[in-house]
Amino acid sequence: MKIAIFHDLPSGGAKRALHAFCRELSLRGHHLDVFIPETANEIFLPLEPLVASVRVFPVIGSRRTTPDRPATWTPLAWCMANQCHRHIAQAIDSRGYDLVFAHQARYPNIPDVLKYLRTPAVLYLQEPNRLLCEAPLLDTADTEPRGIRTRLRHHPLIGPFLLALIHRKTNDKKNIRYAYSVLANSFFSRDSILRTYGLSSTVVYLGVDTELFRPMGLPREQLVLSIGAAHPSKGHRFLIESVGQIPADRRPKVMIVADREKPGEKARLGKMAADRNIALTIQSVPDTELVTWYNRATAVAVVPYLEPFGFTPLEAMACETPVVGIREGGIRESVVDGQTGFLVDRDPGACAAALIRLLDDETLRVRMGRTGRSYVESQWTWAQAVDRIEHIFAKIHTEHRSIS
């Protein structure tokens, strides 16, 4: 098939997923062309080596600070995004593609390109905009002065920005209805999309690279690994509180792999760990090194708030490392409680107890690790994910041709 790809993604899991989709689709002989605004991150996991072409469209008002970073949004660029998306849609429609495989944008979350396209578009929606659609996390309250939202709302500069966000939320609800089909990464995300937009979607689970993430036979350390930005939503504070409840003579080290930080969060996590006598390391590592850490850890803790899907459990299980996951969001759909790890409620004592079981019982760790690897190989590969995508693409292509 001849497929146009649209995205305006930053670095992170969504871009990682798109990169894997493009790699597998190209290997299967599909013709892929990428159309992106200049704000899209093509530094992280670039698509150019995987596709026939990448065409970049300017966004009036955006600002490029350094050559090795994508252009950044400005208030003027927010206003001009619509024009950029219209030009992208016109370019796609003029080239006779079978369909468009569209992904989220940073502004707006549901891209305006959908409403201008005549070519049928499949939107892979990782999650609704959480800033607009969810209540703020309670555990961030201690870092925000009381009444700050009220003051921001009436700030002469920030107030109009908040009004723009409200407008974007309304616009997202309109834009999503132009998609021929909407795909979700989990049943949790499907429910979120339905609640937010009143629209049904189809679950197409993501996968994991089982050749990259693999068991290496390394000796295990008394180490608990946690992956994700240094941000309150990733639950690192909860993990430190949980590990702090493990007796000092059995307490493991904690390593957090974080590529981004909410200002001040690393320092806060460091102080929390020091107060509880926990040896904590926070660093950013490439995937090739991350595999080594998965193989050195006794357990991987996955405790973010309402994570819609999460690659971490799959990567850990592919490396034969048991997972202690929070019983929330999409984590419940990938971790098999009692077989590939443990699912726990958001209670530090329960999390600590699960970690202790894995720290103290090597036989249990090995059994869960091997079960996890087999489970991933049988149900969570990228080949299986793209099988499902191809089936949907073929059905849409047939339907659209019959209508035309």
pLDDT tens sequence across 81-113 = 889 999 999 999 999 999 999 998 877 789 999
Residues 45-67 have a mean pLDDT of 88
Smallest CA-to-CA distance from 297 within 373, 223, 212 is with: 223
Rg (CA), the chain: 22
Task: Determine the average pLDDT of the residues in 52-68.
Answer: 83
* pLDDT tens-digit readout, 244-289: 999 999 999 999 999 889 999 999 999 999 999 999 999 999 888 9
CB 246 within 8 A of CB 355: yes
Alpha carbon 7 to its chain's center: 14
SS3 of 38, please? coil
**Does residue 327 lie within any of the structural domains?**
yes
Give the mean model confidence (pLDDT) for residues 146-171. Answer: 53
C-alpha angle 286-290-293 in degrees, rounded to nearest 5: 145
Do residue 228 and residue 185 come from a single domain? no
Mean pLDDT, residues 106-130 taken together? 91
Question: Which of 257, 322, 339, 243 minimizes the C-alpha distance to 293?
Answer: 257
Is 29 among the domain residues?
yes
Q: Are 187 and 258 members of one domain?
A: no
Please give, one letter per residue, the 3-state secondary structure of 353-378. HHHHHHHHCHHHHHHHHHHHHHHHHH
| E strand map for 193-318 | 202-203, 223-227, 253-257, 280-283, 299-302
Confidence of residue 300 (pLDDT cuts 50, 70, 90): very high
Do 188 and 289 fall into the same domain?
no
Query: Is residue 218 one of the residues assigned to a domain?
Result: no
Percentage helix, strand, coil, to 5, in the chain?
Answer: 45, 15, 35
Q: Are residues 320 and 338 in the same domain?
A: yes
* Least confident interval from 17-21, 115-119, 145-149, 297-301: 145-149
The whole-number pLDDT of residue 68 equals 67
* pLDDT of the residue at 138: 56
Per-residue pLDDT at 144 exceeds 60: no
Is the model's pLDDT at 385 over the cut of 90? yes
For residues 180 and 277, state if they share a domain: no
In a domain, 39, yes or no: yes
Give the tokens for residue 267. Answer: 């320092």
Give the chain's domain count.
Answer: 2
Mean pLDDT, range 22-31, rounded to an integer: 98
Confidence of residue 65 (pLDDT cuts 50, 70, 90): low
Mean pLDDT for the chain?
A: 90
Tell me how far apart the alpha carbons of residues 202 and 190 are, in angstroms, rounded to a whole number.
7
Are 50 and 120 members of one domain? Answer: yes
Which residues lie closer than 8 Å to 223 by C-beta, 6 or more apart? 252, 253, 254, 255, 296, 297, 298
* Confidence band of 151 (pLDDT split at 50, 70, 90): very low
Instruction: Tell me the residue type at 142.
Output: D
Q: What is the helix (H) or strand (E) element at residue 102, kind and residue range?
A: strand 99-105
Taking residue 43's Cβ as centre, other Cβ atoms within 10 Å add up to 11
Same domain membership, residue 373 and residue 306: yes
Q: What is the pLDDT of residue 70?
A: 80
pLDDT at 287: 85
Query: Which ranges of 53-112 does DSSP label H, i.e. alpha helix?
Result: 75-93
CATH of the domain at 244: 3.40.50.2000
> Whose structure tokens read 């704000």?
39
The burial class, CB within 10 Å (0-12 / 13-18 / 19+), for 70 is buried
- Tell whether 87 is covered by a domain: yes
Q: Could you tell me the sign of the dihedral formed by the alpha carbons of 184, 187, 191, 192, in that order?
A: negative
> Where is average pLDDT lowest: 41-45, 107-111, 329-333?
107-111
344 falls within a domain: yes
Dist. CA 359–CA 353, nearest whole Å:
10
Residue 212 lies in a domain: no
Task: Please give the C-alpha separations between residue 225 and each of 44, 232, 246, 368, 371, in angstroms, as whole numbers.
Answer: 23, 17, 15, 16, 19
Residues 229 and 183 in one domain: no
Considering the domain architecture, whether residues 176 and 322 belong to the same structural domain is answered as: no
How deeply is 241 buried, as exposed, middle or buried, from its count of CB atoms within 10 A (0-12, 13-18, 19+)? Answer: middle
**What pTM was estimated for this model as a whole?**
0.89
Q: Taking the CB of residue 208, how many other CB atoms lie within 10 A of it? A: 24
| Residues 53-78, mean pLDDT to the nearest whole number | 78
Residue 63 within any structural domain of the chain: yes
Partners of residue 225 on adjacent β-strands: 255, 300
> Where does residue 153 rank: exposed (0-12), middle (13-18), buried (19+ CB within 10 A)?
exposed
Judgement on whether residues 180 and 274 belong to the same structural domain of the protein: no
Which residues form the domain of 119? 2-207+382-403
Quick check: 152 pLDDT over 70?
A: no
Regarding whether 148 and 268 lie in a shared domain, the answer is no
Same domain, 149 and 168: yes
